[in-house]
């Protein structure tokens, strides 16, 4: 394991986890982590002074997570978001890419993740693998790709929310449902 990755893991465990718990309604990590959803991603070309919640800097890939219960937001870097969500780097990039444009293809790693998690079936997996590198799909193929991408994003729903979904959850919490 590289020194940077070891330091990132240590920062995740000793700095980020306590801060997430502190910003949560729950009082322990196992409960607190379920209050948070991945809500935004931004890539800045030049370092602008922001640091990850674990104190690592510089970060140029800014991942925003939002607490579903109290609306607090935190910006965390790529190393921490991967550990937080349990995703590999290539899976995270592909899913963020497709989230921004559901007509795009998932990469092989994200396709295999979706299949292994049961979010897509064998036929859908094969369709994704067969059309992954194709740019000119028929309208039916494009619609099927979009449909499958929505299944993958729905599989990640416990950790990834759109702004509208986040607002709807906040309203439900406020209403006591």
* Residue 84 in this model has a pLDDT that exceeds 90: no
Domain shared by 71 and 118, yes or no: no
**Percent over 70 (pLDDT), the chain:** 82
Q: How large is the average pLDDT for residues 86-103?
A: 82
Mean pLDDT of all residues in 127-141? 94
- pTM of the predicted structure, to 2 decimals: 0.64
State yes or no: pLDDT of 158 exceeds 70: no
Whether 69 and 119 map to the same domain: the answer is no
Residue 18 has pLDDT above 70, yes or no: yes
How far is it, in rounded angstroms, from Cα 80 to Cα 96?
Answer: 15
Higher pLDDT, 53 or 155: 53
Instruction: Tell me whether residue 174 is in a domain.
Output: no
Is residue 135 predicted with pLDDT exceeding 90? Answer: no
Sign of the alpha-carbon dihedral angle for 57, 39, 26, 82: negative
Domain count along the chain: 2
Max distance between CA atoms of the chain, in angstroms, equals 51
The residue segments making up the domain with residue 52 are 3-86
């Amino acid at each position: 394991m590289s020194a940077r990755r070891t330091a990132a893991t240590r920062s995740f465990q000793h700095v980020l986890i306590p801060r997430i718990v502190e910003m949560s309604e729950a009082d322990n990590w196992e409960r607190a982590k379920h209050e948070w959803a991945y809500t935004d991603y931004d890539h800045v070309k030049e370092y602008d002074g922001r640091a990850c919640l674990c104190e690592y800097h510089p970060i140029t890939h800014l991942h925003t997570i939002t607490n579903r219960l109290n609306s607090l937001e935190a910006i965390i870097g790529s190393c921490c978001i991967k550990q937080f969500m349990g995703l590999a780097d290539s899976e995270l990039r592909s899913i963020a890419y497709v989230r921004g444009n559901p007509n795009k293809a998932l990469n092989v790693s994200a396709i295999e993740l979706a299949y292994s998690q049961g979010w897509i079936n064998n036929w859908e997996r094969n369709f994704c693998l067969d059309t992954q590198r194709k740019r000119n799909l028929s309208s039916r193929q494009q619609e099927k790709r979009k449909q499958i991408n929505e299944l993958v994003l729905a599989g990640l729903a416990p950790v990834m929310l759109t702004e509208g979904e986040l607002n709807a959850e906040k309203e439900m919490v406020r209403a006591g449902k």
